[in-house]
Structure 1
Amino acid sequence: MGNISSDIRSDLQKILFLLLIIPFVILSWFTINKTFAKTGYSIFVEFDSAYGIKPGTPVRLRGLNIGSVVDISSELNSVLAIININSDKLIIPKNSLIESNQTGLLNDASLDILPLEDVQCDSNVGLNPTANTCSDAKIICHLSYMQGDRGLNYDDLIRATTRISQRFDDPRFFNLFYMFLHNGVELTDQFVSIIADLSELLAYSSRKLK
């Protein structure tokens, strides 16, 4: 009887363990699928420099936030950013310009996707970025590799302003500017003198004709 009771107790423990495991597995499966549904799809974008890009940098399509930068790494001669698009319903034309811009008072970086052409929506075939039949020639598919460009960058503006200020501080620039101004004044005086002579000549001719 003792052996039978221990066997029953062991079976009950196994059943209780399975009853606890099954809901946990089901819940985990739903959680993973829900997370996967939210992740959308990812693309790789290569830049010459980071330009302030970091994980969490927003990605915009036609001015609307559609995703963010997940990770960024330094390659041999470039910087590679991994971008996550929130939904696979967002269709991005393959012929698009991806720019890194800095906006706002804090020069916050953002990636702007600028489509250069429209996608023909006559058929949904091949227009799912995550599908195996995704047409890479028409749209940006999952795990596509794109080349990014530099857009509006305040560092370039500051650098250009610094160069201009340095030019103004250069004595050679002031000497050249003074020579140009002096020659301009002389030419203006000569031009005024010629106009005065022509006026006198026209006045003398008009008196002769009368």
Structure 2
Amino acid sequence: MNFFKRFQGRTLVLFTLAVTICFTAIACGGGGGSQTQASIGIPPELVVDYIHSVAEADRTAYTKHVVNRLKTLEGKPKEAGVVPAEATEAWQQANGVPLPAQMFRLGAELASEKGTFTYGLISPWNINDSQAPKGEFESAGMQQVVDTGEPYKAEREIAGQKYYSAIYPDKAIAEACVTCHNEHPIHKERYPDKVFKLNDVMGGVVINLPLT
């Protein structure tokens, strides 16, 4: 458990560092326009790009350098595995480690508790009901991301608060991503004709940045 706390803590520190560097660079910029730049602040579309870059890099590193090295994935042996441990959805009961999507969600929960922005996963082929697209923005945006493979960004209002929101394509970066989804009983039941391949768009990463 200490490993996961350290991993989540490092993710939050990287988020904070990225945003702080951006604001510092603008506030400390030379020239007569520096005060105007500082008062305007960094564009929200750039902030969400930074947040996404850090979140995606952390999950990719976890997938490639932790999950891919384990000997077992959801009860099945991995040929290239060298670490005697299992990545499984029931990681707490099985004394294993979380799947990449679960690790991503653990970090998102920690960030939402201590930060001012939120992020999470959604998918039109969701296994977890909480990760289904919600509302017009997520439904329309997720469809556009699937169709184009490009991010979808816009301002919107949530519970009376204005946000700058973005949906980024969530792609299958490793065989573990494809195997877990394609072989999951809920996926087979709900989406029997959907078979993911490496680099397919499997869903989206949603980031909500408050405009205050």
TM range (shorter): under 0.3
Give the TM-score, by structure 2 length: 0.22
Choose between structure 1 and 2: higher strand proportion: 1
**Structure showing the higher helix proportion among its residues:** 2
> Which protein has the larger Cα radius of gyration, Structure 1 or Structure 2?
1
